[in-house]
Structure 1
Amino acid sequence: MPENYTDPSGNTEQFRAFASAPEATAPAAASSRLPLIVGAVVVVLLLAVVAWLALS
């Protein structure tokens, strides 16, 4: 057996710890504004339609 033998179970344990680690929440926090933006656009469009119908 070579002198610089590394135990593969140590690498597996490190990989399992990495794989089970929770993901970062930064992308989820950035995408939480999307419903707000879509809602605002829908409200503006509805107001424009109501104004157009009222003036025509």
Structure 2
Amino acid sequence: MSDNSVDPSGNTEAFRAFTRTGPDSGPPSKLPFVIGGAVAAVVLIALVLWLAL
């Protein structure tokens, strides 16, 4: 039983969709950490002022 079609398991082109990566994004943003730090600082200062009263 001869078949002239190419064996898909030997065809690397069929698997290119799985190896393609999108464009590299930049480093992750530090903005959430800055906002979280600012909120924590405000809460800490408010707590210290409240305890000082």
Normalising to structure 1: TM-score of the pair? Answer: 0.50
Structure 1 residues without counterparts, runs of 5 or longer: 1-7
The alignment-based identity, stated in percent, is 28
Structure 2: tracts of 5 or more residues without a match: 1-7
Q: Where does structure 1 differ by over 2 angstroms across 4 or more consecutive aligned residues?
A: 8-12, 21-24
Number of matched residues? 48
Higher helix share: 1
What are the within-5 Å matches in structure 2 for residues 1-56 of structure 1?
9=11, 11-12=14-15, 14-16=16-18, 18-19=19-20, 21=21, 24-25=24-25, 29-30=28-29, 32-54=30-52, 56=53
TM-score by length of 2: 0.52
Q: Provide Cα deviations, 1:6-34, integer angstroms capped at 9, x if missing partner.
A: xx63633x324x44x265425x634x211
Report the RMSD for the aligned CA atoms in angstroms: 3.2
